[in-house]
Amino acid sequence: MIPLPTNVEPSDEILLIDHIKSIQVKTLEPSLLRMADDLKSFWKNYTKNELTIVTDGEDHAITFEIESEKFDEVEAYELDIESDEVNIKAGTAEGIYRGINTLEQLVVLSHLHANSNFLSLPGGEIEDHPSFEYRGAMLDVARHFFSVADVKRYIDLLSSYKINFLHFHLSDDQGWRIEIKSWPKLTEIGGQSEVGGGTGGFYTQEDFREIVQYANDRFITIVPEIDLPGHTNAALASYAELNCNGKSTELYTGIEVGFSTLCVDKEETYEFVEDVIREISEMSPGPYLHIGGDESHVTPEEDFNRFMDRTLEIVKKYDKIPMGWYELITADIPEETLLQYWAKSADFSKVIPKKSKILMSSASYNYLDMKYDSITPLGLHWAGYLPVKKAYDWDPRSLVPDLDADQIIGLEAPLWTETIEDFDDLALMAFPRIIGHAEIGWTPKKRRNWEDYSQRLSYHGSLLDHLEVKYYGAEEIDWK
């Protein structure tokens, strides 16, 4: 199993698949009924057995039961597999969902690796909860655009490994990807380019709401990002008034960074920022709104800080927790701001005195666009090569010396798309490394070691093959 659960107690019992006749939902919550319906379809697909959905009084059932007084953590669950029934208990629907994730993974792996006809599951009890509250992935849709269908497919894969946040990098120099009704040229002009000169694309607000709901149904929170005040050439090309000289820039299709900035002295800039934040906040029920802040090399620090002071107030006005790359530390940030660390540890020493929560996204360990090795056909390597073992064998709480471990809320694996053009490219760079990141985020450090993990991961190649995911078949793993 990946992530490895907190505690597993095997038993001598064996569950015969044919003994399960129904899914019993004891709490008639809409989300639980939806999960039951999804599990029913899953069960038929893998076992050929048709289950009914009932509310009580059934033996030979997979039972969902909410016991809010028993569980302290939102995502904690218990999974008990006996000879003639399965019980999943949790304090919330989200906990039930994590238990279903584990059950389904057991079913798929048993199905794929059975020596004969798939007829049974091993019995036992699992008690499980996450090590970190934030276990995230980031997808850059600005440098290359990805369809709604591609994003949904990525969400499905992430949720199966208990990842619970998807950070959506929606704007950059190469493209603006989200419809803003009060500033329509952002997508009419800025949405029509991408790295290499492709046609780009954008999400309508209806598209974005559909993605948010799809993720929410899988207990993944969407974190929208509009990168400010740098990385803004697509916006500057769309509206001349956002430039200090009043002239629109040309659309940009390269990969260099740090050359663009909004004009921080113009009131039109802050009208633009407020409209964008307001419209995106209305579509995003999650707690965070990411405002970028990285690599604003042509924005003097005094101007950067003045811009961020005003922008942070706008984010708070619309009831969002500000989130940004660690360069925000030069501004007068609210204490609740979530800072995302991406550079080398020496650069992060500035953050240590602050009280803000920190999200670990070290380029050397987390960036999924870094090449696995020198012959990887895609990706970059400015932060070094990132083989599967290196991506797994580290700890977010001890990566940066002298940093208070209590500040660290979790980790996130960004996938920047300078060289990533389609879903197969995305899959090759994300898998299997993001599976290791999922385990780092979920499984306690004392339960993790490379030898055990690499053995378990070796069985997931067939799972990814079954799902038609074109993962990187690293030689470090003895794939089964």
Catalytic residues: 295
Cα 222 to Cα 89, 286, 329, 450, distances in angstroms: 26, 6, 24, 30
Contacts of 180 (CB under 8 A, 6+ apart): 186, 187, 275, 276, 279, 280
Q: Which of 235, 327, 227, 336 is nearest to 288 (CA)?
A: 336
**How many CA atoms does the CB half-sphere of 200 hold within 13 Å?**
29
Give the pairing type, strands 165-169 and 120-128: unpaired
Take residue 69 and report the two structure tokens written for it: 């007084």
Q: Which of 382, 339, 389, 340 is nearest to 364 (CA)?
A: 382
* Contact of 138 with 414, CB cutoff 8 Å: yes
* Contact of 260 with 230, CB cutoff 8 Å: yes
Q: Is the peptide bond before 229 cis (omega within 30 degrees of 0)?
A: yes
- Angle formed by the axes of helices 433-442 and 423-430, nearest 10°: 50
* Contact of 231 with 177, CB cutoff 8 Å: no
Q: Is the peptide bond before 287 cis (omega within 30 degrees of 0)?
A: no
Count CB atoms within 10 A of the CB of residue 350: 13
Encoded amino acid at 187, one letter: T
Strands (E), 20-176: 22-25, 52-54, 61-66, 77-81, 86-90, 120-128, 134-140, 165-169, 171-172, 175-176
Tell how far CA 23 is from the center of its chain: 29
Q: Which of 78, 162, 85, 84 is nearest to 125 (CA)?
A: 78
* Contact of 50 with 21, CB cutoff 8 Å: no
